[in-house]
Each structure stands twice: as C-alpha cells, then as structure tokens.
Amino acid sequence: MIARLLAGAALAALAVGSAQAQQGKISGDVVKIGVLNDRSGLYADLGGEGSVVAVRMAVEEVGGKILGKPIEVIAADHQNKPDIGSNLSREWIDRDGVDVIVDVPNSGVALAVQEVTREKKTIFLMQGPATSRLTGDACSPTGFHWAYDTRALAVGTGQAIVKEGGKSWFFLTADYAFGHQLETDTAAQVKKAGGTVVGAVRAPLNTADFSSFLLQAQSSGAQVIGLANAGGDTITSIKQASEFGLTQSGQQKLAGLLIFLSDVHALGLQVAQDLVLTTGFYWDMDDEKRAWSEKYKAKTGKMPTMVQAGSYSSVKHYLKAIEAAGTDDGPTVAAKMKEMPVNDMFAKNGKILPNGRMVHDMYLARVKKPSESKGPWDYYEIIRTIPGDEAFATMAESGCKLPG
C-alpha cells in the first residue's frame, strides 16, 4: 500500500516536472491576442476598432512572429455588459487558447474580466477601464493597468482646478463602477487641495438628455461642475452645458475629468475650447509620437486616443517579455513584464508596480480655441507634465494585497 502511494507520488512529481519542462514554449504553437472592447456603443470611438489596429501595428513591428511562432489577433464586442465580457473572455481562454486580453473599456466589465484572468492566470492589459480599484482591492498578479486611471485623472484635473481657484465642486457622475470611483478619487484630491464638495447627481449610463442634471448642478451654486463620465456621455453633457449657458455666465466652470481626443473631435473646438483635462498621451508632443500617430492615421483616418496608443504600447511590452522569458506562460511573462522598464513612443522610463500599475508621466492639457488650432486634430496645449510618481498611487497606497 505504502509502496503504491509512493509510486503514485513519484509519478505525479514526474508529470509536474514534464509539464514544467514544456513551459519553455508557446502554448498551442500560437500567441493569441484577444482585443475585447466596446465596438458599437458609446465608447466605440475611443477604443473600438482603433485599438485593434494599434495592436496589429505592434504585432507587425515584431514581424508577426515571436520565438518562431505566429501571432494572431482576434476581437469582440462586450457591449458594455459585464456578463458578456466575462463569458467571452472565459470562452476565449478555455476554448480558443487566447493568451492575453487587451483594452476592455468600461470599469464594470473590466472588473469582471479581471476575476476571470486572475483565475486562469492569463495576462490582462487594461487600457480603456479607468477605476483605480483594478490595481487596488481588485488587483491581480497577471493584470496590468496601462494608460491612465481615476486616481491619475483626479490628481491632474482635480488639483489643477482647485489651485486656479475652483474651490467648491458639484459632481455629475455616471451611475456605475467607473463614475463612482472617479467621483470618490477626485473628491479626495479636491479636499486635499483645500476645496469642498457641495453635492453630486448620478445619471444613468448613456443618457441622451443631461439638461435636468445640469440644472441641478447649476442651482447647487458650486464653482466647478465635475463631469465624472466618459465618451458619449461627456460629449452630450458638455454640449448641453454650453446650450444652457452654464459656462458663458462665467460663474461656473466645467471640469471634464476624463476626456479623450475623440470626444474633442466630436464636439468641435467651438464648444470644447478651454476645457482642462488630464491625458496619458497626446500625438503632437514629440517626433516619435507624431511618427507613430501619422502611421496610425494612415490606417484609420483619425489620430489615436490614449487608449489606442496604450494598447500598442502594452502589447509591444508584452511581446518583448515573451521574448525575454522564452515562454508565453501567464505568471512567468507577468513577472518578466514587471522587471523590464517600459520605453517606447508611449512612455519614457515607465515602470510597472507589483500590483500591475504602469507608472508613467501624465499630462495636464487645455483644449485650444478655434483661433489657436492650426487644423484638424491640433487640439491640445500641454500645460504641465505630471510626474508618474505624483499621478499614480504607490503600491502601499493602492490597497492591493499582492506581495510587493
């Protein structure tokens, strides 16, 4: 009996050993990249097909192959529904052998996908989702948060506006995980800088008419109306704020807490001018960014948002880590990614914290007036660089329980 048990244990040990020996390879003989985002709804322009194009550009740059094996890119629409997002990612990993999931805007969906990828030990490169919880209480050893998060946005726009004299705030918040977190993080920064929060109203996601919420914001008498929403919701609320004369009177100021280049493009400078915003990327900052962005524009007809540029950068870094590790095994690659600095057109001397937060410089920008803009896509004036260590929470502050 004992002999049998021992033999069994030995066999089991052998099996584990041989499984480990096989790790020096690419699983399924292909590196499969799954881009999962909103391809038809209110966040489709800031990520969508553009993110897929950006990822393909990263793949093309390494010749479409890694360690002699082909790289494949697939894409799907999560429709902003957490259940669809987690089901799709589960199917992708279990059935289709997807090795890495990219983008996933909408914090609600991203939190669901984070659970799946943690359980399956699959790499998750987050661009679109904003909530800082993804590297906080919901952190994962294989999850990477790349372009920005609610904390960085709050530090940038929140502090900047309080310093300019916008002391009292009222929030117009998208009523789901992302909006709540952005409101919480910004309120914390506003109070830290000596401001006050007089109130907030929660509007359902994808609201067509913000006028009544704006009216409540107006009657609150706050100096600053903080827009804790994104994409189509931000566009509509800014446009309608202008229609109702909120900003023209000069008594109240709008603070767009998360504004993408695609939003400004859709609004037009006439309406968007003078908005202050925080961004992780702007195409017209240096030669390297311009060159990459022009290449991207040739493929899509648009300049990239920070989500799309970030998708390129994270996939590039991921492929480099596979090369260095000699395998596409999730945890091994994740450890390698955290060892290597991030240096590409998106980020200079970026570093990745143990909780998966990619720390890089953020930028405070002001939207140009129509008279200042030299042409299409010439939209931002960079006011200040926010050093990465100031923008993002440290490992200790984040609340992530991973060993750091």
Partner 1 sequence: MSTIFGIPPQALFGQLLLGLINGSFYALLSLGLAVIFGMLNVINFAHGALYMLGAFVAWLLLTTAGIGYWWALLLAPLVVGAFGVVLEKTLLSRLYKLDHLYGLLLTFGLALIVEGAFRHFYGVSGQPYPIPDLLRGGQNLGFMFLPNYRGWVVVASLVVCLATWYAIERTKLGAYLRAATENPVLVQAFGINVPLMITATYGFGVALAGLAGVLAAPIYQVSPLMGSNLIIVVFAVVVIGGMGSILGAVLTGYGLGLLEGLTKVFYPEASNIVVFVIMAVVLLIKPAGLFGRER
The residue ranges that bind partner 1 (CB under 8 A) are 40-42, 44-45, 48, 175, 201-204, 206-209, 211-213, 215-216, 218-219, 231-232, 235-236, 239-240, 243-245, 262-263, 265-268, 270-271
- Least CB distance to partner 1 at residue 49 (A): 9
CA atoms within 13 A on the CB side of 238: 30
- Least CB distance to partner 1 at residue 43 (A): 8
CA atoms within 13 A on the CB side of 151: 20
Which CB atom, from 302 or from 317, has the smaller least distance to partner 1?
Answer: 302
- Least CB distance to partner 1 at residue 33 (A): 24
Which CB atom, from 105 or from 356, has the smaller least distance to partner 1?
Answer: 105
Which CB atom, from 125 or from 205, has the smaller least distance to partner 1?
Answer: 205
- Least CB distance to partner 1 at residue 108 (A): 15
Which CB atom, from 309 or from 322, has the smaller least distance to partner 1?
Answer: 309
Which CB atom, from 57 or from 201, has the smaller least distance to partner 1?
Answer: 201
Which CB atom, from 191 or from 239, has the smaller least distance to partner 1?
Answer: 239
- Least CB distance to partner 1 at residue 206 (A): 7
Question: Containing H/E element for 352?
Answer: strand 351-352
Instruction: Show the 3-state SS of 94-125.
Output: HCCCCCEEEECCCHHHHHHHHHHHHHHCCEEE
Which CB atom, from 185 or from 263, has the smaller least distance to partner 1?
Answer: 263
How far apart are alpha carbons 242 and 237 in whole angstroms?
9
How far apart are alpha carbons 75 and 136 in whole angstroms?
27
How far apart are alpha carbons 71 and 55 in whole angstroms?
11
Q: Report DSSP state, residue 61.
A: H
- Least CB distance to partner 1 at residue 123 (A): 28
Runs of H (alpha helix) within 22-105: 48-61, 82-94
Phi, psi of 149 (to 5 degrees): -155, 175
- Least CB distance to partner 1 at residue 208 (A): 5
User: How many CB atoms are located within 10 Å of the residue 390 CB?
Assistant: 14
Q: Which of 179, 137, 175 is nearest to 154 (CA)?
A: 179
Question: Contact at 8 Å (CB) between 380 and 366?
Answer: yes
How far apart are alpha carbons 151 and 184 in whole angstroms?
9
- Least CB distance to partner 1 at residue 306 (A): 15
Which CB atom, from 244 or from 378, has the smaller least distance to partner 1?
Answer: 244
Phi, psi of 191 (to 5 degrees): -65, -40
